[in-house]
Amino acid sequence: MQTEVMKVQADVSILAEIPEDLYQSLERYLERYPDWSRERVFSAAISLFLLQNGESDRRASRCYLDSLFQHSAA
């Protein structure tokens, strides 16, 4: 009998400084799309950056797809 172990994905808090113009653009976007949060945008952006720059780890792919489709990463 095979037992499947589910991993619980932990969240990590990141403090980052970004240009004010980028912040204002982000705020305008979030006002237009209230189903998106800053955390969801950052997760999608960072994972897409990694995928586009040679990180072929499935975890980055999963985080990207989960952020697009509003699933919590597992």
Whether 26 is covered by a domain: the verdict is no
Instruction: Give the gyration radius of the chain's Cα atoms.
Output: 15
Whether 24 is covered by a domain: the verdict is no
User: Domain range holding 71?
Assistant: 36-74
**Residue 13 to residue 39: CA distance in whole angstroms:** 9
Whether 71 is covered by a domain: the verdict is yes
What's the confidence (pLDDT) of residue 1?
57
What's the confidence (pLDDT) of residue 3?
60
Whether 64 is covered by a domain: the verdict is yes
What's the confidence (pLDDT) of residue 11?
85
Torsion sign across C-alpha atoms 27, 32, 34, 35: negative
What's the confidence (pLDDT) of residue 43?
93
Rounded to 5, what percent of the chain is helix, strand, coil?
Answer: 55, 0, 45
Whether 61 is covered by a domain: the verdict is yes
pLDDT, tens digit, 9 for 90 and up, residues 11-65: 889 899 999 999 999 999 999 999 999 999 999 999 999 999 987 788 889 999 9
Domain count, the chain: 1
pLDDT band of 72, cuts 50, 70, 90: low
Asked if 27 and 7 touch (Cβ cutoff 8 Å), the reply is no
The C-alpha angle 64, 68, 71, rounded to 5 degrees, equals 90
